[in-house]
């Protein structure tokens, strides 16, 4: 029976979110040289342990992931194709717990795998109370996940409990408004997770570098920029699936390109606001604006690459990884506005070619 639950609830979750996990792996392991990987994560974990705000934000990020996992599991239980799972009600309560707890554990495995070293470092840094609190927090999350699945099985005929976050109404019918509305509603967990991760990375930089080094920051800045790659992917998929009819409208290609550019501008506003609050004294206004526009141009280039690669997530992540390493060198070059113009021209050329030939890959 456990194998059946794994096939119906766990494996489909990881298959559906392959792109997200590739992005997470890239974000935490791909952006750092192999020789610095351990020291990078150790420094990151120490920042979590010693900064309460950082730790609370990380726990909130984990909570968003838990919600995503459980929502998927509850939807799977209510799926007509999995209606046979209702027969689990006939099993003894203890047996149901023994079946559903491993399902919750496996769904939460990426978080649990990283939380282990965090608790170990907390103990090593004489923060045993924090380690115990984290252990209890994770235990509560796993137990709550199993209980919600058990509750759903026993209340199968009722309205499904899907832990829905509030729906945000976005006015307007333009492609820009619809793309933002999709991210704020259907992809809100991914949006909140990416924004939390990118702001946490920026926050960690300021925590670990009390004496601001402009060159070091410029080499570090591409990390929160490439964090937006998954949101770009979701925007393109939404546009070419749920908004596929836009291709039958008298809509010039350049307007579609402009819509994606505007979406990129809006996506990067939180990071830009954070940098304004913390780095305004270290950069001139032209430098800050050029940084922001360069980040926007990179997201537009990501969009163009997605269309060129037929939205193939594996090739896309490889391209993002290569662009990240290139960007770390480009950031410190002078004449940043010229670089922005060059990237936008290249992105427009790739977009115009890829958009006309685009066919969504399976």
310 pLDDT more than 80: yes
Crossing angle of helices 175-185 and 188-208, rounded to 10°: 80
Give the pLDDT confidence of 96-141 residue by residue, as tens digits.
888 899 999 999 998 999 899 999 999 988 888 999 999 999 999 9
SS3 295: helix
Give the pLDDT confidence of 242-252 residue by residue, as tens digits.
888 888 888 88
pLDDT at 184: 86
For the chain, percent of residues with pLDDT exceeding 70: 90
Report the range of poorest mean pLDDT among 141-155, 162-176, 208-222, 271-285: 162-176
Instruction: Report residue 208's pLDDT band, with 50, 70 and 90 as the boundaries.
Output: low
Q: What is the largest CA-CA distance in the chain?
A: 70
Choose between 318 and 1: higher pLDDT: 318
348 pLDDT more than 90: yes
pLDDT at 108: 92
Rounded Cα distance, 121 and 358, in Å: 48
Per the document, the length of the chain is 362
Exposure string over 213-228, b if 16+ CB within 10 A, otherwise e: eeeebbebbbbbbbbb
How crowded is the C-beta side of 212, counted as CA atoms within 13 Å? 12
DSSP state of 248: G
Mean pLDDT confidence for 323-327: 85
Instruction: Report residue 152's pLDDT band, with 50, 70 and 90 as the boundaries.
Output: confident
Q: Which residue has the tokens 């939205």?
A: 311
Give the pLDDT confidence of 66-90 residue by residue, as tens digits.
988 888 888 888 888 878 888 888 8
Read off φ and ψ for residue 187, nearest 5 degrees: -120, 30
Choose between 33 and 114: higher pLDDT: 114
172 pLDDT more than 70: no
Exposure string over 164-182, b if 16+ CB within 10 A, otherwise e: eeeeeeeeeeebbebbbbb
304 pLDDT more than 60: yes
pLDDT at 164: 52
pLDDT at 132: 93
SS3 71: helix
pLDDT at 327: 85
Instruction: Report residue 159's pLDDT band, with 50, 70 and 90 as the boundaries.
Output: low
Sign of CA dihedral 323, 325, 331, 336: negative
Choose between 362 and 259: higher pLDDT: 259
CA 317 to chain centre: 13
């Amino acid at each position: 029976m456990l194998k059946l639950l794994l096939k119906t609830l766990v494996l489909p979750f990881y298959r559906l979110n392959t792109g997200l996990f590739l992005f997470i792996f890239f974000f935490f392991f791909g952006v750092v040289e192999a020789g610095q990987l351990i020291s990078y994560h150790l420094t990151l974990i120490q920042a979590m342990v010693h900064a309460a705000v950082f730790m609370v934000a990380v726990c909130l990020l984990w909570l968003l992931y838990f919600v995503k996992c459980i929502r998927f599991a509850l939807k799977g239980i209510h799926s007509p194709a999995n209606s046979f799972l209702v027969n689990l009600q006939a099993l003894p309560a203890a047996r149901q717990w023994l079946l559903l707890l491993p399902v919750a554990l496996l769904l939460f495995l990426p978080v649990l795998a990283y939380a282990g070293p965090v608790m170990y470092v907390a103990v090593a840094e004489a923060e045993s109370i924090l380690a115990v609190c984290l252990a209890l927090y994770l235990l509560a999350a796993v137990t709550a996940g199993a209980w919600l699945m058990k509750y759903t099985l026993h209340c199968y005929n009722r309205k499904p409990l899907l832990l829905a976050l509030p729906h945000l109404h976005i006015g307007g019918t333009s492609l820009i408004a619809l793309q933002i509305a999709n991210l704020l509603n259907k992809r809100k967990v991914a949006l909140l997770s990416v924004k939390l991760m990118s702001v946490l990375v920026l926050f960690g930089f300021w925590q670990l570098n009390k004496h601001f080094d402009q060159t070091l920051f410029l080499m570090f800045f591409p990390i929160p920029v490439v964090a937006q790659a998954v949101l770009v992917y979701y925007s393109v998929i939404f546009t070419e699936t749920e908004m596929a009819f836009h291709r039958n409208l008298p809509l010039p290609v350049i307007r579609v390109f402009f819509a994606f550019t505007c979406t990129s501008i809006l996506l990067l506003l939180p990071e830009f606001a954070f940098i304004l609050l913390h780095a305004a004294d270290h950069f001139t206004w032209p430098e800050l604006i050029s940084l922001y526009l360069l980040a926007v141009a990179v997201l537009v280039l990501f969009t163009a690459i997605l269309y060129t690669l037929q939205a193939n997530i594996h090739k896309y992540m490889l391209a993002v990884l290569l662009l990240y390493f290139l960007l770390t060198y480009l950031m410190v070059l002078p004449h940043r506005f010229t670089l922005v113009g060059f990237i936008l021209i290249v992105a427009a050329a790739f977009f115009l070619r890829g958009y006309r030939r685009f066919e969504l890959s399976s």
